[in-house]
Amino acid sequence: MNIQRVDLNLLVYFDVLLRECSVTKAANRLGITQPAMSNGLKRLRVLFGDPLLVRTSEGMTPTDRAKELQPLVRTAVASAERAIQPINTFSETDSTRVFRIMANDYAESTLIPKLLKRLSETAPGVQIDVMTPSDVSFLDVELGKVDLAINRFDSMPQSFHQITLWEDDFTCLMRKDNAIFEGEFDLDAYLSGRHVWVSKSGMGVGVGITPEDVQHLGWVDEALGLTGNQRQIAVFTRHYQTAVHLAQDTDLIVTIPTKLANLFENSSQFISFPPPFEIPAFELKMAWSPLLHHSTDHRWIRGLLLECAQSGERKP
């Protein structure tokens, strides 16, 4: 088939239809009428010789052919979008750009203050909008609605660009007058205490915790399980700062990333110890959409964040 005879707008229709799996939602996203989108789907079916989307009990479901075509069409559409973006210059000293960054409160506490310090020195007009993982979906990032996603990711779309900002391990933090502390913090002492579970990796709205499902409780509990033990968890939270405050006000122990624990090393209220069992380190990653990869201002903020992450300063 000669591509000159193909309406390339159909590829845009296909891309959105496969994302939304709904003619109505796809029409709304593209700002066209539902009949126009239905007509586009009919033309796509003729073009590819396949139904592409079929109605099932779960709604509109992509066919195998549609799933095969989706990454090819997404790449083509993304390349076209990049090609027509205007070439713009970026001056950080004059910019009033708002960068939207998804980060959990671990990254927000340890990395964002360093970034803000650098911005105050070099780009005072630039603003940062920090969004939580629950505020954002992978689609928001892929479409460029969110500039960057900073978190620990178990998985992410293959189209995303990503880079590791740093590697971190874990530290146990508790009040200095915690009743379990008698001068030695070994595995028996750890197991005798009550704990705060804290984690928020990935993106999207979270689900409730099942305490008995140790394999899905995360690195700390999986590592402890390898010793044949299980800790007593008193509270589950998705916020690291909340976990620290709970340790400050109760006899609970928190096992948190070391870079976060370092922020409290000079506090007269806390004492910290390395975990009395081996916990694998993790990577904090920064991910972004291919649509923004070549943008001048986006390259600048990514470079600045990477500099902040790799700086030798332990504190902002």
Assess contact for 232 and 81: CB atoms under 8 A.
no
- In this prediction, residue 80 carries a pLDDT of 81
Rounded to whole angstroms, the Cα distance separating 62 from 64 reads 7
**Residue 100 pairs with which residues in a beta bridge?**
129
Instruction: List the Cα angle 109/113/117 in 5-degree steps.
Output: 175
Q: Give the pLDDT score at 66.
A: 93
**CATH class in words for 3-84:** mainly alpha
User: What pLDDT sits at residue 215?
Assistant: 53
**What is the Cα–Cα distance from 10 to 80, expressed in whole angstroms?**
13
Mean pLDDT across the chain, nearest whole number?
A: 87
Nearest to 115 by CA among 105, 131, 126: 126
Q: In what order do the strands lie in the sheet with 282-288?
A: 127-131, 98-103, 148-151, 282-288, 161-168
Residue where the block lists tokens 């990333």: 257
Q: What is the pLDDT of residues 86-134, one digit of tens each?
A: 666 788 999 999 999 999 899 999 999 999 999 999 999 999 999 998 8
Q: For domain 98-166+283-310, give the fold.
A: D-Maltodextrin-Binding Protein; domain 2 (3.40.190)
Calpha distance 143→107 (Å, rounded): 23
Instruction: Identify how many contiguous H helices and E strands the chain contains and give both numbers.
Output: 12, 12
> What per-residue confidence (pLDDT) applies to 216?
62
Task: Residue 13: count other Cβ atoms within 10 Å of its Cβ.
Answer: 23
Domain 98-166+283-310 shares a fold with domain 170-280:
yes
At 58 the pLDDT is 79
What the block records as the tokens of 249 is: 């006000």
Is residue 117 a contact partner of residue 252, using CB atoms and an 8 Å limit? Answer: no
Task: Give how far Cα 191 sits from Cα of 93, 187, 195, 290, 302, Å.
Answer: 53, 6, 9, 46, 42
CA dist., res. 33 & res. 55, Å (int): 20
> What is the model's pTM?
0.69
Which residues of the chain have a pLDDT value below 70?
1-2, 85-88, 200-216, 312-316
Q: Any idea where the domains of the chain sit in the sequence? A: 3-84, 98-166+283-310, 170-280
170-280 belongs to which CATH class? alpha beta
Helix, coil or strand: residue 284: strand
Residue 315 has what pLDDT? 41
Q: Report the alpha-carbon distance of residue 165 to residue 160 in Å, rounded.
A: 15
User: Which of 310, 307, 304, 311 has the alpha carbon at shortest distance from 99?
Assistant: 304
What per-residue confidence (pLDDT) applies to 208? 54
For position 313, what pLDDT does the model report? Answer: 46
